[in-house]
């Protein structure tokens, strides 16, 4: 009989939602780029406003302790747009396509200049 492994698991031990961003790297393919142990929705939103992701296409959230995962792309897109409007920020080119694909509204010219 095998004894249980004493090595730590690969999944985060945090009881919080972790967010992963799927980006499209063209010919290189798709990849989840967020690998910090605990990446919150606010981290993702801040990074999108700063243009830190190359063509993001999806944001997934999961919580191992609670046993759930879900696509939060639309929620993140709405929050990015809301923050850009409230803070009078220009949405980076890298993020613009993500918003346009997920939201049914046209971005104001001042947000895309």
- DSSP assignment of 11-74: S---SS-EEEEEEE-GGG-EEE---SSS--HHHHHHHHHTT-SSSEEEEEEEETTTTEEEE-HH
Domain residue ranges of the chain, discontinuous segments joined by +: 18-104
pTM: 0.81
Is the pLDDT at 71 greater than 60? The verdict is: yes
Packing angle of the helix pair 73-86, 93-102 (nearest 10 deg): 120
Give the chain's end-to-end CA distance (angstroms, integer).
65
| The pair of three-digit structure tokens given for residue 89, joined into one six-digit string | 């920020």
User: What is d(CA 5, CA 3) in angstroms, rounded to the nearest whole number?
Assistant: 6
pLDDT per residue over 1-46, tens digit each?
555 555 555 554 567 888 999 999 999 999 998 667 778 899 999 9
* pLDDT for 57 beyond 60: yes
Query: Can you give the pLDDT at residue 83?
Result: 95
């Amino acid at each position: 009989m095998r004894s249980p492994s004493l090595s730590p698991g690969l999944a985060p031990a945090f009881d919080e939602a972790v967010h992963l961003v799927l980006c499209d790297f063209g010919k290189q393919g798709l990849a989840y780029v967020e690998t910090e142990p605990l990446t919150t929705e606010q981290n993702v939103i801040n990074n999108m406003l700063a243009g830190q992701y190359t063509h993001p296409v999806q944001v997934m959230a999961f919580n191992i302790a609670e046993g759930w995962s879900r696509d939060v792309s639309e929620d993140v897109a709405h929050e990015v747009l809301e923050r850009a409007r409230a803070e009078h920020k220009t949405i980076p080119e890298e993020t613009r396509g993500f918003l346009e694909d997920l939201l049914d509204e046209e971005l104001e010219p001042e947000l895309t200049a």
